[in-house]
Amino acid sequence: MKLIIGLGNPGEQYALTWHNLGFIILDALRTAGIDEFGPFREHKKLSAAISQGINPEEKIILAKPQTFMNRSGIAVKALMSFYKVAPEDIWILHDEADIALGKIRIARNASSAGHKGIQSIIDELGSQSFVRFRLGIKQDPPSLLPTDEYVLQKIDAKSKVVVDGIAQEVLGAIEVALTRGITEAMNDFN
């Protein structure tokens, strides 16, 4: 079983912000045809909205924590416990302000590098051995806003084209990771 979690903030006001890139990519994954997924349904007990795939070879759960970014670990821990998965079978999709816009980096067993949502997950799980799909949002030229303000900015129409490209690349990386393993995905996409 794989638990694929996109990080973001709940609520319409955050829907198309950089910090919700994990949610945006999960929505693309749900409709991409890699697996057949139902609609996202909120599960209050798990503090997450969940969509379950029906792949007979490996069960895949997509989840969007509803705890706000900086408390993502609460939902991830509840999901891990409920579905009885090891940290290694948890894949986290999240924005990364230190990576150029449009680039992705796949990492496992890595520190948070200052990302508060990831740090929350590490703190709650007591482990950093999950897989991260780090989605670059760093602008060129750099944004003049502090990072905590920049990530809450709406994605403009020009950048939306780049986000669509990121989605396609991440979908390819996830497909490789599911079929050939995470190391192969890292070799192909990093």
* Euclidean distance between CA atoms 66 and 44, whole angstroms: 9
Residues 29, 150: Cα–Cα separation, whole Å: 25
Q: What is the pLDDT of residue 90?
A: 98
What are the b/e assignments for 110-144, b being 16+ CB within 10 Å? beeeebebbbbbbebbeebebbbbbbbbbbeeebe
Q: How large is the average pLDDT for residues 7-13?
A: 95
19 is catalytic: yes
Per the residue annotation, which of 19, 43, 94, 115 is the catalytic one?
19
Region 166-177: what's the mean pLDDT?
93
pLDDT exceeds cutoff 90 at 177: yes
| pLDDT at position 56 over 70 | no
pLDDT at 34: 65
Instruction: Assess whether pLDDT exceeds 90 at residue 26.
Output: yes
The domain that holds 108 is classified in CATH as 3.40.50.1470
CA 184 to CA 187: how far, in whole Å? Answer: 5
Higher-confidence residue: 143 or 88? 88
Q: Which domain holds residue 45?
A: 2-189
Number of domains present in the structure of the chain: 1
